[in-house]
Amino acid sequence: MTTLYPLKFKPIIKERVWGGDQLIKLLGKPYSGSNPVGESWELSGLQGDTSVIENGFLKKNDINEIVETYLGDITGDAIYDRFGMEFPILIKYLDIQKGLSIQVHPDDETALTRHESFGKTELWYIVDAAPDAKIYLGFNRETTPQELFDKCNNDTVNEILNVITPKRGDYVLIKPGTIHSATGGILVAEIQTTSDITYRIYDWGREHNPETAREMHLDLAIDIIDYNKYDLSQYHHAYCQNRENEILVDCDCFKISKLNPNKTLYYESTQFESFIIYMLIEGKITINSKNSLLDVSKGETVLIPAGLGEYSILKKSAECTLLEITGKS
């Protein structure tokens, strides 16, 4: 079989009313328009938004095509047995400037019943945050569906939400049913299950203006929300920035580690029993494998096929931070 190699993909740029220009200015994402950009999809197998390879002999093939061709050599055999030709992880960067809608995501059972889809679990890793940035996360006290409904209608829902001032290096796993939002200038690396199902609950008044109104989903969301007081210990502050290897989350959906390498890292891909994704949050690296030498810059994402074999990561800058993501079978 043809030797596989580390894969880069063409970013899929999404204009969003709540976005800005930081994905272009700070992460170098390709965009020539004038509208605010809110998302850069780095790796996606979602129908209609499928990532296309931009390096090597597989260039111009999309992620689903190569999974169909190489099967478990891309995803790992056990993960292929579970998900088939649907790549199970969606990787994004978000630039949230002007009020991401207050929203919630369904779990697998609800998403399957209503949408024939997976539910959505996501990790937010804070790449950068302005001094005035805010994350709204869960309720600050126990509440009820009726109170939430009333507060959405009188524009006071933020009064019952926790407000967090994010800092670079913070992270949080946002589970299905957890109400959340953000505003004020925050750059996020988002790792999530392959789903694009979002229920908007409140849109900061945009929903009252015919020119800015978007579809709202309070009726769908009302019975899937967790109305308990949110446990803020689930939000992790970046007290320690210099650990060489730190596991951020290890759940049923994925495992995510933060790497701050101070030397060359050597791996054998089969040790993971999964694909491996690297998001380069800061710095420059070179990934070396049997038939490939790949330079990677800040903001880029690389997929290591499960069947690649030996590879190494060489740090090429003084500061270097990566997120390492693997799937679960």
pLDDT tens digits along 131-168: 999 999 999 999 999 999 999 999 999 999 999 999 99
Q: Which two tokens stand for residue 83?
A: 């998900």
Q: Let me know if the fold of 7-236 is the same as that of 256-327.
A: yes
**pLDDT confidence of residue 241:** 54
Q: Stretch 245-264: mean pLDDT, rounded?
A: 95
**pLDDT confidence of residue 240:** 56
Q: Stretch 174-182: mean pLDDT, rounded?
A: 98
pLDDT band at 211 (very low <50, low <70, confident <90, very high): confident
- The answer to whether residues 251 and 262 touch, using CB atoms and an 8 Å cutoff, is no
* Residue 318 main-chain phi, psi, to 5 deg: -60, -45
**pLDDT confidence of residue 32:** 93
pLDDT tens digits along 98-119: 999 999 999 999 999 999 999 9
User: For residues 326 and 322, what is the distance between their CA atoms, to the nearest angstrom?
Assistant: 13
Beta bridge partners of 89: 193
Domain ranges of the chain: 7-236, 256-327
**pLDDT confidence of residue 3:** 87
pLDDT tens digits along 2-48: 689 999 999 999 999 999 999 999 999 999 999 999 999 999 999 99
- Judged against a pLDDT cut of 80, whether residue 1 lies above it is answered with no
**pLDDT confidence of residue 244:** 75
**pLDDT confidence of residue 212:** 87
pLDDT band at 291 (very low <50, low <70, confident <90, very high): confident
User: For residues 51 and 76, what is the distance between their CA atoms, to the nearest angstrom?
Assistant: 19
**pLDDT confidence of residue 208:** 85
CATH superfamily of 7-236: Jelly Rolls (2.60.120.10)
User: For residues 155 and 152, what is the distance between their CA atoms, to the nearest angstrom?
Assistant: 5
**Residue 233 burial (C-beta neighbours within 10 Å; 0-12, 13-18, 19+):** exposed
- The answer to whether residues 52 and 10 touch, using CB atoms and an 8 Å cutoff, is yes
Closest CA to 223 of 313, 119, 275, 149: 149
Which class does domain 256-327 fall in? Answer: mainly beta
For residue 58, the Cα-to-chain-centroid distance in whole angstroms is 24
